[in-house]
Structure 1
Amino acid sequence: MNARLALSSGPLAHADYRYLVSGATVSALGNAITPVALAFAVLDLGGSATDLGLVVSAFAAAEVLTVLAGGVLGDRLPRQLMLQGSAAAAAVFQALIAVALIAGWATIPLLAVGGVLNGCLGALSGPSSSALTRQTVPADELAKAVAIRRLAQNGSMVIGFSGAGSLVAAFGSGWAIAVDAATFAVAALCFGLIRVPRAVHLDKAPSLIGDLRAGAAEVFRHTWLWLLIGQALLYHLFYGGVQGVLGPIVVGDSLGRSAWGWALGALMLGFIIGGLLTLRWRPRRGLFVGTALLALTAAFPLAMALSDHLPLLLLGAFLHGFGLEIFSVNWDLSIQQNIPEDKLARIYSFDIVGSYVARPLGLVVTGPIATVVGFDRWLLVVAAVMGGSALLSLMSPAVRRLERRSEVAAMV
């Protein structure tokens, strides 16, 4: 009865929203498995921490270099078509990587090339995916739609991260990545069922560069927007190497490979609890509250540095996810409620670029730096930067004073 009621009211009453959430959720399941599988695939091929950083950074660099084009295309072309095409192509490329690993002819350079291709595809569709939410629900249901979508995706990732280590240990990295290929195929089918009007492109700029200039001008028109994108740059510069390079090594060596999967699962559980809280708790100054709780992300690297006990590691990972999710929901809603429809995909692309542009560098240098200064010492530095940068952002009046709207007005 409750499930039937949920489908007959609220965001889930709209078929296009259900297809969007279903595709994003099943894709998130595979995407949670792949980082764990890829990390151990590189290590099993004899790769070092530096090699692992190079492979992961190849994906991150490709995403950053392509995402601006994805934002422009997302404001010019049907966004559901961008999602469907990207998911279908990703299914093919991930299947090829899986076959290479299973057959035993995979190499570290091949894994890096596969990362580049999938990074490009994800970047082309990412801005469209975020911008499409507002087209699938009425304005007064947007806040709940944002929270539900993130909750569904994070729940899927909890399952993926929690089971990834065990899946790799039992069947190998190749079969784990094959699961990701299958989820992309299912996602492509879901995205193909979405039927929403094409967003009206109001900019007069005839070129890619002109569209990007208009998007950049919109970013710098909002102090809270460019400031927190800068904070995200620091976060990913330092934390990207922790999750992509140091985590699998530090936790894998001290507690076992399955423990790293459980730690990522605990992080995602924090996302789930934080997401559930945002369904009920809607602070008037949500961006301020979210940014304050973002400082909790320091708990995960801190736990890695100070303890080799699994419960404390899981607690640190949970607090990281909890604080980050409350911030992310309020951040996403702030963008949805304050950016015009015809620029929305470009703003999301600038958000992704600004946030992740330094991540490839962090992935590459984390291994060498941590080797020189010590893994635990570097983890403490990372924790200080993550927590401190979030708290410093609260000094901006633009962050403290931005208020949530009860309903999204028509934006032109």
Structure 2
Amino acid sequence: MTTAPSVRRPGPLRHRNFRLLVTGSAVSSFGNAITPIALAFAVLDLGGSATDLGLVVAAFAGAEVVTTLLGGVLGDRVSRKLMMEGSSAASAVAQAGMATTLITGAATIPLLTVLGMVTGVLSALNQPSSQAMTRLVVPPEELPRAVAVRPLAQQLGMVAGSVAGGALVAVTGAGWAIMVDAATFAFAALCFSRLRVAHTRPDGPRGSMLSELGEGAREVLRHTWLWLLIGQALVYHLFYGGAQGVLGPVVVGDGIGRSAWGAALGAMMAGFVAGGLICLRWQPRRALFAGAIMLTLTCLFPLAMALSDQAAVILAGAFLHGLGLSVFSVFWDLSIQQNIPEDKLSRVYSFDIVGSFVARPLGLALTGPVAEAVGFRNWLLVVAVVLFVVEVAALFSRDVRHLEIAGLHSDDPAL
């Protein structure tokens, strides 16, 4: 076969640990893309309103936010491999329990809310360790490409999961769809259990949980680009989380068809994949600034839902949303990986996650009643405008514009 190895088999995939990490993450992403679709329609089928759906999703998000800082401290204290393996196995059990209640007809909206909170806690314990793991499974010179390859594999899984989610819900029902997610968590736990990595711990006595959190907070505040863009993400999730999680299934799912909403999420995931492919070849010196420019595309998805009843327009908006967010996320992740010390990396990621998502439960809970008061499409238009304004405002930061990424040269054929 004459296809260039740099395209068919990126350098980081030569490493066994990286392959296991990518495989487990991608399979888990496949299942995670199914559950939001299944859960949304499960709540609606139980007679729930947009407000009920928002509260169920907010319970998951709220539990996740509350627990993430603990996950960050533990990720810098104990084995990140153990954190990932254990949380994935426990998530498999929790999702299987949720699926069983739906399959047997025992599910109620309050019960789904509680189970969603359990799943949120387990996800929070996993995320900081998972994001910090990349640097431990590849040599430093291959980190830029690894940071692009890993999310690309995860987004491919999410594309497949988004398409499969709509079909599974339509054919088998929400319960069996969520059971598939449980199986993917079990497979991911198996992959993570086979990782062979060392976890470097700082010398000397450990401080208290609060003191270690304080160290992580001070590290975040040392970097203007870091806390500024975390603040931008807070506004993004406050407004956009409800637009996708609450209004999308109603406006698109009920207005055009449930399969159309699944296709829209699939188009967004396809945009993520396209963004990942772009990042494999396009790696500018001022990558964070380039990513921040691309992030302005995210306003187009809520704008399309607000202004159009045509599936093609909504799919295009979803694709561009995913494209812009994907490019930004890769360059954002690389900026953190290259500029934060190893012994603080999980904690910084936990502050990134919490700062980004802390307002999401509030947005999810309020989206239903606010949108019902002002009109669903009117609120989607407000969301689009807010996203565009805050994303453009970040471009005026000198620190965002001038942060340079080490080892990135767009003309280097090895990249």
Q: Identify whether the pair has TM-score above 0.5, normalized to the shorter chain.
A: yes
1:139 is matched with 140
Q: Map of 1:298-309 to 2, 5 A cutoff?
A: 298-309=299-310
Q: Following TM superposition, by how much is the alpha carbon of 1:201 offset from its aligned partner in structure 2, in angstroms? A: 2.7
2:18 is matched with 17
1:123 is matched with 124
2:347 is matched with 346
Q: Following TM superposition, by how much is the alpha carbon of 1:383 offset from its aligned partner in structure 2, in angstroms? A: 0.3
The letter for the 1-side match of 2:405 is: R
- Write the distance in 2 (CA, Å) between the matches of 1:403 and 1:179: 42
Q: Does 1:70 align with 2:71?
A: yes
1:253 is matched with 254
Q: Does 1:91 align with 2:99?
A: no
3-state SS, counterpart of residue 199 of structure 1:
coil
The letter for the 1-side match of 2:60 is: F
The letter for the 1-side match of 2:130 is: S
1:337 is matched with 338
Q: Deviations over 1:216-256 (max 9, x none)?
A: 00000000000000000000000000111000000012210
Q: Following TM superposition, by how much is the alpha carbon of 1:199 offset from its aligned partner in structure 2, in angstroms? A: 2.1
1:377 is matched with 378
1:292 is matched with 293
CA distance 1:114–1:4, shift in 2 (3 Å): farther
CA distance 1:9–1:163, shift in 2 (3 Å): closer
Contact persistence 1:263–1:314 (CA under 8 A): yes
Q: Deviations over 1:40-65 (max 9, x none)?
A: 00000010111100000000000000
2:196 is matched with 195
2:264 is matched with 263
Q: Deviations over 1:320-367 (max 9, x none)?
A: 000000100000000000000000000000000000000000000000
Q: Does 1:59 align with 2:60?
A: yes
2:413 is matched with none
- Write the distance in 1 (CA, Å) between the matches of 2:175 and 2:367: 26
3-state SS, counterpart of residue 30 of structure 1:
helix
CA distance 1:173–1:294, shift in 2 (3 Å): same
- Write the distance in 2 (CA, Å) between the matches of 1:4 and 1:183: 32
Contact persistence 1:60–1:359 (CA under 8 A): yes
CA distance 1:310–1:199, shift in 2 (3 Å): same
- Write the distance in 2 (CA, Å) between the matches of 1:2 and 1:167: 38
Q: Following TM superposition, by how much is the alpha carbon of 1:3 offset from its aligned partner in structure 2, in angstroms? A: 8.5
Q: Following TM superposition, by how much is the alpha carbon of 1:166 offset from its aligned partner in structure 2, in angstroms? A: 1.6
Q: Following TM superposition, by how much is the alpha carbon of 1:202 offset from its aligned partner in structure 2, in angstroms? A: 4.8
* Count of matched residue pairs: 407
Q: Following TM superposition, by how much is the alpha carbon of 1:163 offset from its aligned partner in structure 2, in angstroms? A: 2.0
The letter for the 2-side match of 1:315 is: A
2:108 is matched with 107
2:363 is matched with 362
Q: Deviations over 1:91-122 (max 9, x none)?
A: 01111111110011111111111110110000
- Write the distance in 2 (CA, Å) between the matches of 1:226 and 1:122: 23
- Write the distance in 1 (CA, Å) between the matches of 2:14 and 2:274: 23
The letter for the 1-side match of 2:173 is: G
- Write the distance in 2 (CA, Å) between the matches of 1:10 and 1:319: 28
Q: Which runs of 5+ in 2 are unaligned?
A: 409-415
Contact persistence 1:202–1:342 (CA under 8 A): no
2:230 is matched with 229
Q: Following TM superposition, by how much is the alpha carbon of 1:8 offset from its aligned partner in structure 2, in angstroms? A: 7.4
Q: Deviations over 1:249-281 (max 9, x none)?
A: 000122100100000000000000110000000
- Write the distance in 2 (CA, Å) between the matches of 1:323 and 1:296: 5
3-state SS, counterpart of residue 255 of structure 1:
coil
The letter for the 1-side match of 2:344 is: K
1:410 is matched with none
Q: Following TM superposition, by how much is the alpha carbon of 1:182 offset from its aligned partner in structure 2, in angstroms? A: 0.2
1:27 is matched with 28
3-state SS, counterpart of residue 196 of structure 2:
coil
- Write the distance in 2 (CA, Å) between the matches of 1:202 and 1:364: 44
The letter for the 2-side match of 1:154 is: Q
Contact persistence 1:303–1:316 (CA under 8 A): yes
CA distance 1:282–1:8, shift in 2 (3 Å): closer
CA distance 1:111–1:329, shift in 2 (3 Å): same
Q: Map of 1:380-391 to 2, 5 A cutoff?
A: 380-391=381-392
Identity of aligned residues (%): 63
Q: Following TM superposition, by how much is the alpha carbon of 1:205 offset from its aligned partner in structure 2, in angstroms? A: 4.5
Q: Does 1:160 align with 2:181?
A: no
The letter for the 2-side match of 1:60 is: A
CA distance 1:252–1:154, shift in 2 (3 Å): same
- Write the distance in 1 (CA, Å) between the matches of 2:36 and 2:2: 36
Range with bigger deviation, 7-16 or 90-99: 7-16
2:178 is matched with 177
- Write the distance in 1 (CA, Å) between the matches of 2:189 and 2:157: 17
3-state SS, counterpart of residue 255 of structure 2:
helix
Q: Map of 1:40-55 to 2, 5 A cutoff?
A: 40-55=41-56
CA distance 1:400–1:204, shift in 2 (3 Å): farther
Contact persistence 1:203–1:211 (CA under 8 A): no
The letter for the 1-side match of 2:244 is: Q
Q: Following TM superposition, by how much is the alpha carbon of 1:17 offset from its aligned partner in structure 2, in angstroms? A: 0.6
